[in-house]
Amino acid sequence: MSGAVLDGKTVLLTGGTGSLGQCLVERILSRYRPGALVVFSRDEHKQWEMRRAFPPDKCPSLVFVIGDIRDAEALDRALAGVDVVVHAAALKHVPTGEVQPLEFIKTNILGAANLIASARAHGIDRVVALSTDKAVSPTSLYGATKMCADRLFISASEGLNGRRTRFSVVRLGNVIGSRGSVVPYFARSHRSGALTITDPRMTRFWVTLSQAADLVLSCLVEMRGGEIMVPKLPSMRVVDVARALAPDSALEITTMRRGERLHEVLISAEEACRAQEYADRFVILPSSYPGEINGRPCSEGFQYRSDCNDRWLSIEELQTLVGEFV
């Protein structure tokens, strides 16, 4: 992968102390030579832990800045002199969003708006924002806020003349091993001898941290602005995830939580008319696209759903992927 986008550049990761943020830090420092790699987050303790994992004598280009994307002034100061941004900061726990919706709106929507305004003002070259399958036809407050954020980023790339900041979105499924995901939850809960499943029919898309990080980095290289990049991912029933991680535990079936749904969608039927298929991904194009279009158009009415997928993970394959949690 070409290093021209990152070598010698100042790169900033919002929410950089999260699971995917830390994976991106490791990837960038091992593969590229950024002039500076700035971790921007609001958690002082997580930054302290990251400094131990990435000590200054071995990672001299790594910089830590405490701040919140809700704080437009702090964000603006942090973005001065930055060339590339990966936006991973978000509130994402679905049940919490249902009872504290304003907090999610402040971070996921207004924080995104702050980032867009400041990136434009500083003439930043490119911004990649991380999104989720829950942003497609959302049923949860979290999904609705991410849908709004996606629209803000895509809209920010349209209708601009001359030099501009490019904005693109990477839409991911459930990231195996990320904080708050079901995989470490099941791995911890199996010690009690029982796992809770809200519905045995439930399916999800799955992606590893390393796969997600690689997709983000490839998007930074290939983006032209306004795209939503969707990786081709395998599906798995959540009940099979539980059996993979805790085969000897009993399963307790409860009821679906507020905002939860049976299956996830990465591309809706309405988006399919603007989607192009490639070997490893789909790309949803904006109304006007400055790049070359050489994919295969998706068929009318196509949907990329976790329950209608042609790729499924077996229990054995998942156990291989998440060996550290089993």
- As annotated, the active-site residues are 134
CA angle 183, 186, 187 (to 5 degrees): 85
Identify which of 94, 146, 91, 90 has the alpha carbon closest to the alpha carbon of residue 258: 94
Beta bridge partners of 185: none
| Distance separating alpha carbons of residues 93 and 218, to the nearest angstrom | 27
117 DSSP assignment = H
Cα dist. 185→180, 207, 281 in Å? 7, 16, 29
Q: Are strands 250-253 and 194-197 parallel, antiparallel or unpaired?
A: parallel
Q: How far is CA 43 from the centre of its chain?
A: 19
Q: Cα-flanking dihedrals φ and ψ of residue 310, to 5°? A: -100, 5
| Distance separating alpha carbons of residues 310 and 117, to the nearest angstrom | 40
